[in-house]
Amino acid sequence: MKQQEFEEKLEKVSDGTLKKQEPMRNHTTFRIGGAADYFISPKNVKQIKEIQTLCQIYQIPCEVIGNGSNLLVSDQGIEGVVLQLGTAFSQIRQEGTNLIVQAGAALSGVAQKAAQSGLTGLEFASGIPGTLGGAVVMNAGAYGGEMSQVIRQVTLLTKDGEQIILSNEEMQFGYRKSILTKKPYLVLEAELCLKEGDPVLIKANMAELNARRREKQPLEYPSAGSTFQRPVGYFAGKLIMEAGLAGFRIGDAQVSEKHCGFVINRGNAAADEVKTLIDIVQRTVYQKTGVKLELEIRCLGR
């Protein structure tokens, strides 16, 4: 009865965007994952607040995702509500050399917008497949650049529905982490501080970085990007290759031969296969080198 009551209220609040038993493989770049009980693409902040409040009242779990580019979702799916911040939260405003970007904007699109406006500093992000929100949470980076270098401040929504603004320093950025890896705040938007540059040189730099990415990364297969964090003083991919695990495979989950730091989906990999593969890689590398590989991807679900 309580479940039915919750569903009826959620249906009303979600304003036609509610999907039940939605396959998460359709919403992750890994193309892996069972069904979410409830999947909603909210249209505005008011709707997010109402959904979060409803989940708190009925004690239903609520997860927020962007493009799903850094996620491994369980084969058993996700309990409760999944909110995906997408096109309704993808506006980009320019104020001088600063960009104010909503959480659902594709990072590659933000980098393109910066380039078109003759703003430099975001070239490193042009090939990162996630959204601005996810990039802020994990301080995404590539080729020597990372989000913490360009973020001035971030607008967040607390569990109590309060909007707060944190400065770059208050965000506590570190390697692939921020205050958001510890606190359950939701990113609404971020202000990025960039500099004036030559649009021709900016676009040339972006093209060069993207060519390097295509050459060295297995972009032809579904994946969640780099599977492991870079250990201090080492490269995860090199350690895995030297451990003899290049091409190692369980079902359709495989250590990429092109870049051993990536676990790829060869077609129909299950999350359990990926997880088993990861465990073997971590254990083997530790046995051979004494180095513990920490996950960069986020595991979600039952």
Residues identified as active-site: 176, 226, 296
Distance CA 52, CA 54 (A): 5
Tell me which residue of 39, 135, 130 sits closest to 84, measured CA to CA: 39
Which of 239, 240, 237 has its CA nearest to residue 218? 237
Structure tokens at 18: 């509610």
Q: Which two tokens stand for residue 123?
A: 């070239």
> Where are the strands (E) in the chain, listed by range?
19-23, 35-40, 62-65, 71-73, 78-84, 92-95, 98-102, 119-120, 141-142, 145-146, 151-157, 163-167, 186-193, 195-196, 249-250, 253-255, 263-265, 298-300
Q: What residue type is 261 in one-letter code?
A: G
Distance (Å, whole) CA 10 – CA 39: 11
Distance from C-alpha of 169 to C-alpha of 51, rounded to nearest angstrom: 30
Q: Are 263 and 277 in contact (CB under 8 A)?
A: yes
Tokens 């950025």 belong to: 173
Strands 186-193 and 151-157 turn out to be: antiparallel
Neighbouring CB atoms inside 10 A of 270's CB total 18
Can you tell me the distance from the alpha carbon of 139 to that of 149, in angstroms, rounded to the nearest whole number? 9
Residue 28 is encoded by which pair of tokens? Answer: 């992750």
CA–CA distances in Å: residue 111 to residues 150, 177, 189, 216:
12, 21, 15, 21
Calculate the CA 117 to chain-centre distance.
25
- The tokens for 136 are 């802020």
